[in-house]
Structure 1
Amino acid sequence: MTAAAFWWLAGLYLYLSPKLPEAEALQDIKLQTPLRIVSADGQLIGQFGEQKRIPARYEELPETFVSALLAAEDDGFFEHSGIDFLGLARAVSELVTTGSKQSGGSTITMQVARNFFLTLDQTFIRKFTEILLALEIEQRLSKEQILELYVNRVFLGHRSYGFETAAQTYYGRSLSELTLAEHAMLAGVPQAPSRNNPLSNPSRSEVRRNWILGRMLTLGMIDQGAYDKAVASTDVASFYGLKVEVDADYVAEMARQFAVEKLGNAAYNDGFVVHTTVNGDLQQAARDAVIDGLITYDNRHGWRGPEQRHPPLEGESEEPLTARWQAALRAMPVVADLLPAIVTSVDPDGIDLLVRGGERSRLSWQDDLRRTRRYITEDSRSARANEAADLFSVGDLIRVSRVNESFKLAQVPRVQGALVSLDPIDGSIKALVGGMGFVLSKFNRATQARRQPGSNFKAFLYAAALENGIHPATLINDAPVVVGNLTDEDLWRPENDSGRFYGPTRVREALTFSRNLVSIRVLQQLGVRKLIEMADRTGFDVEEMQPNLTLALGTHAFTPLDIARGYTAIANGGFRVEPWLIDRIEDLDGNVIFQADPLIACSECESPKADEDIDEISRIEDLFEEKEPKFREAPRIIDERVTYVLTSMLEDVIKRGTGRRARVLERDDLAGKTGTTNGPRDAWFSGYNRDLVTTTWVGFDDYSLMGRREFGGTAALPIWIDYMRVALPPEEAASEMPPGVVRLRIDKESGERTNTQSSSIWEVFLEEFTPSGKNKRGQDGDSDDLDGLF
């Protein structure tokens, strides 16, 4: 009988051994690891993949956790050869005597074999294959490697694979930060991960935890004091989900799409890490600025009332009513930290609330609610209510925001916004916000919303004008314009925002105060084709641009990213760079499989003239020290003299024009332009210095009117200011006047040169285009005419 069993087992081994996985597969096991998106400074932005996993190396595992795991699963792991024969015998005996499975008998090595290569079928053939494979694994891998595979592969409930991920899911902390009791709690989960994790069944999980702690005490892994303390501790497990360090959902989605295009579906499972150009701190500042700006706009226009109503049903008792309210709150997403809450009672002194998550709170009439005014139209609000009952009813689902330890009334704005911030030297995206919240709308307004930029586009009109002989002191008549033949509709009669006409106006003043009628006459003098050609050079898609005078007022629609890219050419001295987001992609082992190779704006690369120019080239190369020392030079598209003069004009927009709110930043190196479209329906601000270009937009997705007192300077500029206050380097970015630019004293009224001190100002010009005419230096006049040149 014994001999027959031996030969039967030997035959089974010969039958199964050729079907075992190759040894190479055992040494090259790949964990199914999700795609991770990180900022330039390494902070987690997003994670994509069916299995949540954060791989951990053996040397990173805490000693108490390893002890708890061995006590729970395989206390002889480091002594046996992969098989615990006594354990197997005990399991078989229990199965024969009781008719059911009582204990496992599988070692950690056997579990690795099963988890990676086998099914969970309860058959003798599978078990025998598992034993053979465990013996093979022990021959090919060290004990540390086997344990590392186990702790990273095992399923632990709530889509968490691996113990490091489980630590983050249940406790919101790394495995190395957990207590002995929490290590024991996690070590008990593999027995029944879906049913007995600390969230699904806390009581059974605690029993399992205490049993493991007892085993650790018996095995001498911990002392009595540690055991007593751990057993007495209260477990604090909660669902923490993914621990994202930077709010950048729109950026994460852009990066995900890029990764899938490059890598296919393998992007989701093979542990790739996408490194973006986004700066974590700047991105958080951008998100906060957009949210605060939209809420501030929304507050100016009144409260719109509850989002939903869930009044008590007739005869409904308190317990089912509360359960129904809690279900309604759970179904409502948290948008930009604005929490859903239900009004549970209303009285003359205020309202009581049930906040999502179960917290109870109260808003008082006198301190919190008496100033509330209802929205009527975009231009009007109601008078203040007399009491809370005029505004609220029991069962109203509203929003609140947390302020320290209390709450205040809030609402999710209907208005939307976007922000794009670029490095003008290479076009890298430093921050991007595509809307009020990704959970509210996945439409990325920064890259997908094509909106009329209004006067924000005038910077490119005046760039073309400066190239073609119109200078900052050119006088243009600010007077009514009537244009026909644009369409079959009535005549076009554009106006300034103020509704006034200012007569002869210098071009600098026209741009500073955004005079529409002057801009139209500048385009008439310039020619529409030259503006379109400038837009094409700067990177705008001009294929569908209608060649008419309305382009002077920014009537062709572009995305905020388009506008920001255009402004980089002004900020960097005239070079065309392209926006880019993905710096590199690394595989699970840290190998770089994709590396960006952007165009770099480098004026000194054209013809280095001095040691300081060589130093500037070195500075630019230092930006890309991890890449090849050579870089691709961006093409020059605008004369640097034109960008210098235009920047001086756009600096006046901030110093004394429509963007003067930005003076609060107390800097002299900022330039920019507001933009407001008819209605108004869109509000813009684009501003920059040599270090950073940022465009902000505010408007409604359905093109609703924003209100007659809403402009680029009131709705979009405050967002830009809040962001740039954080984003700008402390040192101002000075720019030197390039050769070929002259500085002359001119009369403020006529724009003509003058040597008179009174009624005169300094102005900058391209040397071939000065107030005396289209002359080169030394022509049509003697050198004395340039007495004002610095």
Structure 2
Amino acid sequence: MRTFYKIFKWLSALAFAGLLATLIAAAGIYYYFAPQLPDVETLREVKFQTPLRVYSADHKLIAEFGEKRRTPISYVEIPEDFIHALQAAEDSRFFEHFGIDVKGLFRAALQLASTGQIQSGGSTITMQVAKNFFLTRERTFSRKFMEILLALRIEQELSKEEILELYINKIYLGHRAYGIQAAATVYYGQPIKDLSLAQLAMIAGLPKAPSAYNPLSNPKRALERRDWILGRMLSLGYIDQQRYTDALAQPVTASYHGSDIELEAPYIAEMVRSELYQQYGEDLYTEGLSVTTTIESRLQQSATTALRNGLLAYSERHGYHGAEHQYDISNLSNTERLKLLKDTTTFGGLTPALVTGVDKNSATLLTENSGEIAISWDGMRWASPYKSVNYAGPAPKQASDILAQGDLVRVIHSQDGWQLTQIPKAQGAFIALEPQDGGILALNGGFSFALNKFNRATQAYRQPGSNIKPFLYTAALENGFTPASIINDAPVVFHDVSLESNWRPENDNGTFGGPTRLREALYRSRNLVSIRLMRALSIEKARDFILRFGFTPERLPQNLSLALGSADATPLQVVTGYASFANGGFKVDPYLIKKIESAEGEVIFEAKPLKACPECSYATRDNPDDAAPQPGIQYSDTEGAAPRIITPESAFLIYNVMQDVIKRGTGRRALVLNRGDLAGKTGTTNDQKDAWFSGFNQKLVATAWVGFDQPAPLGRREYGSSAALPIWIDFMRDALEGTPESAPSAPEGVISARIDPATGKLAYPGQSDAIVEYFRADQLPKEHAQSPEEKLAPPTAEQIFGFSG
């Protein structure tokens, strides 16, 4: 007994010494590593790397920029089933342990010894948080020990809920998905809250090995992992037998879902990205900024459709350019044929298709997504062979005149079925603004961003042609002319030193109208009247006035050709200038970014554009933002009021005159819209290299441009009225549907009077062909036109000699 006691005492002493040595060693190791441990408190301020997201004004997702797809969520947003699935997969005692699960470590060791594999890791969720946020992935004792120490500290500083929230938002789950919300979107196209138990268990199986247990690349192993997790949930009491059985029966439903883009507006997305990159640099893609633009999704969709349809219509008018490629497919399998299509990019909604058979009046084609399709004769009969912009070959008589087996072509689906089409050679741009403050409501910089990223709406400087005339005519109205002023539309020859030659300008149709009222000259777009107006005003005065509207000084020539639109301007500059006609004479600046929010939802920028303010008081004075005075521009003391660049009287008059462009001039096609409040102007440059239409009412202003990227003639009969105006009409038809008319009323300083259309003088009493015209009150004509009787009467002595008696 005494011997046993001595042995027990000796063993106890030895155990105590061993424990003491272990504690001393542990303490030594702790004090060695403790100074190297990072501050756990920083986890409270952690910022997850989240992408830049760009939205429309009505919060439709336009784009997402960033390598990591992540949408952080709070603990309360995590489904309870997912928490249980994660515990079953990673850390069943998470809510009980203090950062280290001793039982879990022993279980992992036992599994390793008995099976050679560890299905439930020894690391707790807290230890994984420590590793993911602070440590490298190297497999060393020192790194593991620091992981344990950090886990202990994290448990002291943070609640279990905070730890789990950090974990589920940080973990990588494959396919650029970081965090469970992003994973739910990537694999199932839904938020985590809407997933089934089986789907939640599938995602819970990913943290262990995102590639090995990925339902897209390894569906079999992913299913095994999911089912194991469901079994663990059952054994741990998280689910009952019925739910387990139901979930186990569910097939693998995961499929890849890219960014959930809700609105196609790539040119807009790139404008936002490039603007913000100047400020944020590479941080832009990880800071989680949320940008709300001024874009209205419905208008953007209409603009996209209208521009594409307009360019396709132009393309078809000029003939078929032929197949994009010709393949020998006679010995290719269907899989090999589909591979050819898969390697061909879709542009602007035009589907690549491979011709597999041609009959007399129809053809069969293969597409990647719709399989085999048929095109009837009505869907291809337009395809006369292209010869030049001015000439197409003879109309085809049968399908074989157009297509052959192995042709790679483009098709598009409409309400009339599948139709043959082609990628347009000509390009275009379309932009719509809110005229009261300059907000960009819709913008397209070309047929397809994927085809060419050059943004023609903002970057293409092209000659506006007659689209510039309203600015010149407004200058005339501001300097003594009236809509009834008579200007001679007759041949003229100028020797312009700056042009270094004689210049014989002509009207588009080569005819001359003689004495013409200013109103009629604009709606008929008479070039010679514009030139005479500029001469009457002086080149310098007219040019200075046009510059008020926001054009680039270096791109406005200082000669008479400016009257015909030889300047260079972008569609954005043109539509911004036209906004001043729509809003009553105010200069607004176009803007796109309405609001920027941080990842935490804090508003860090909100646009405060200057707005048209007809009710504000204005005075001519120096620019409050610039010491240099700008003659003719008026400013208001009202905060946020845009400067006035046209008097209210002239603004009304030019609007009213431009309404006649649509009612009886070059824009008559727009009468199909059956609205009386629309105004605008066509524009066509020499040799039809640029075609424009800009038009508006008080609520909306829009510009359409069509041309080749390398300036070249668009072809005969291609003018602003035929190439650009149809695009504008299609957009406005959708944009203005259901909206009341909004033409301006005459301001106090404007009166109407009946005039003689031939002379612009007041109509004589009873004149049957008299028309109504508007004038500034101080510019009402003083004379009446002669009646037929007065014209036939012999001249008086006063008329002959200049005196009476």
What TM-score do the two structures reach when normalised by structure 1?
A: 0.89
1:141 paired residue number: 158
Q: Could you tell me which residue of structure 2 aligns to residue 517 of structure 1?
A: 528
Is 1:318 aligned with 2:337? no
How does 1:269-288 map onto structure 2 within 5 Å?
A: 269-288=286-305
Aligned partner letter, 1:759: D
Distance, in Å, in 1 between the alignment partners of 2:315 and 2:116 is: 69
Contact kept? 1:259, 1:274, Cα under 8 Å: no
Aligned pairs (5 A) from 1:749-788: 749-754=758-763, 755-772=765-782
1:391 aligns with 2:406: no
Cα deviation for residue 409 of structure 1 reads 2.2
Gaps of 5+ in 1: 609-628, 774-790
Corresponding residue for residue 724 of structure 2: 716
- The match for 1:776 is none
Check conservation: 1:365, 1:387, Cα contact below 8 A: no
Shift of 1:490: 5.8
Pairing of 1:324-363 with structure 2 (within 5 A): 325-348=337-360, 350-357=362-369, 359-363=370-374
Deviation, structure 1 residue 438:
1.3
Which residue in 2 is equivalent to 1:578? 589
Partner AA of 1:356 in structure 2: E
Equivalence map 1:45-124=2 (5 Å): 45-95=62-112, 103-124=120-141
Secondary structure of the 2:494 match is coil
3-state SS, counterpart of residue 198 of structure 1? coil
Please list, as runs of the form range in 1=range in 2, the aligned pairs for 1:298-317 lying within 5 A after superposition: 298-312=315-329
Give the whole-Å Cα distance in 1 for the aligned partners of 2:399 and 2:141: 72
Amino acid paired to 1:677: T
Deviations 1:282-308 (A, max 9, x none): 222222222222222222222222222
Aligned residue number for residue 664 of structure 2 = 656
* Structure 2 gap ranges (5+): 1-17, 620-636, 784-805
Q: Which whole-Å CA distance do the structure 2 matches of 1:4 and 1:401 have between them?
A: 80
| Distance verdict in 2 for CA 1:547–1:281, change over 3 Å | same
Q: Partners in 2 of 1:178 and 1:407 — Cα distance? A: 37
Q: How does 1:629-648 map to 2 (within 5 A)?
A: 631-648=639-656
Residues 405, 603 of structure 1: alpha-carbon distance in 2 compared, 3 angstrom cutoff: closer
Following superposition of structure 1 onto structure 2, how do residues 410-421 of structure 1 map, counting pairs within 5 Å?
Answer: 410-421=421-432
Confirm or deny: 8 A CA contact 1:445 1:560 kept in the other structure. yes
The 3 A distance-change label for structure 1 pair 370 and 766 is closer
Distance 1:43 1:653, change over 3 A: same
- C-alpha deviation, 1:488, in angstroms: 6.5
Report the equivalent of 2:27. Answer: 10
SS in 1 for 2:686: coil
1:706 corresponds, among 708, 714, 734, to 714
- Mapped to 2, the partners of 1:369 and 1:654 lie a distance apart of 34
Q: Cα–Cα, structure 1 residues 410 and 85, in superposed 2: closer, same or farther, change >3 Å?
A: farther
2:802 — aligned with what?
none
Matched, 1:206 2:219: no
Contact preservation (8 Å) 2:320, 2:386: yes
Distance in 1 (CA, whole Å) between partners of 2:230 and 2:399 is 55
Q: What residue number does 1:499 align with? A: 510
Matching residue of 2:311: 294
Change in CA separation of 1:19 and 1:417 when aligned onto 2, cut-off 3 Å: same
C-alpha RMSD of matched pairs (Å):
2.5
Counting matched residue pairs gives 747
Helix, strand or coil: the match of 2:428? strand
Question: 1:617 — aligned with what?
Answer: none
Q: Does 1:376 align with 2:387?
A: yes
CA distance in 1, matches of 2:477, 2:70: 57
Shift of 1:719: 1.7
Letter of the structure 1 residue corresponding to residue 433 of structure 2: L
Moved more, 697-706 or 724-733: 724-733
Structure 2 match to 1:666: 674
Residue deviations 1:370-415 (CA, integer Å, cap 9, x gap): 5533322223323343444433333322222234796432222222
2:632 is aligned to: none
1:348 CA displacement = 4.6
Contact 2:580 2:587 in 1 (8 A): yes
Cα drift, residue 451 of structure 1 = 0.6
Q: Which residue of 1 aligns with 2:756?
A: 747
User: Partners in 1 of 2:353 and 2:141 — Cα distance?
Assistant: 56
Match of 1:233 in 2: 250
Distance 2:113 2:197 in 1: 37
Paired residue secondary structure (2:24): helix
Question: SS at 1:752's partner residue?
Answer: coil
- 517, 532, 538: which is aligned to 2:549? 538
Secondary structure (helix, strand or coil) at the match of 2:659 reads helix
2:434 corresponds, among 423, 434, 443, to 423
Q: Output the CA distance in 2 between the equivalents of 1:733 and 1:177.
A: 46
Q: Distance in 2 between matches of 1:77 and 1:243?
A: 34
1:182 corresponds to 2:199: yes
205 and 551 in structure 1: CA distance in 2 versus 1, 3 angstrom threshold: same
Inter-partner Cα distance in structure 1 for 2:154 and 2:454: 49
- The answer as to 2:32 corresponding to 1:24 is no
Q: How far apart are 1:653 and its partner, in Å?
A: 0.9
Give, as a single letter, the amino acid of the residue that structure 1 aligns with 2:288. G
CA distance in 1, matches of 2:460, 2:606: 29
Mapped partners of 1:7, 1:690: distance in 2:
83
Cα distance in structure 2, aligned partners of 1:91 and 1:227: 25
Which letter maps to 1:331?
A: D
CA–CA distance in structure 2, aligned partners of residues 441 and 683 of structure 1: 20
Between the aligned partners of 1:302 and 1:71, the Cα distance in structure 2 is 66
The residue identity in structure 2 corresponding to 1:574 is: G
- The CA deviation string for residues 178-201 of structure 1, in whole angstroms up to 9 with x for no partner, is 222222222222222134322212
8 Å contact from structure 1 (residues 685, 696) kept in 2: yes
Q: Secondary structure at the match of 2:455?
A: coil
Paired residue secondary structure (1:605): coil
CA distance in 1 between partners of 2:151 and 2:417 (Å): 58
Aligned to 1:217: 234
- Give the match's secondary structure for 1:161: coil
Find the counterpart in structure 2 of residue 564 from structure 1: 575
Do the aligned residues in 1 keep the contact of 2:673 with 2:733 (CA within 8 Å)? yes
The structure 1 residue matched to 2:478, chosen from 453, 467, 470, is: 467
Question: In the alignment, what sits opposite 2:448?
Answer: 437
Whole-angstrom distance in 2 between the partners of 1:224 and 1:374: 70
The answer as to 2:730 corresponding to 1:727 is no
Q: State the shift of 1:463 in Å.
A: 0.3
Q: Which of 175, 180, 204 matches 1:163?
A: 180
How far residue 661 of structure 1 moved from its aligned partner, in angstroms, is 1.8
Aligned partner of 2:617 in structure 1 is 606
Contact residue 350 and residue 363 of structure 1 kept, 8 A: yes
CA distance in 1, matches of 2:383, 2:253: 39
Specify the code of the residue in structure 2 equivalent to 1:712: G
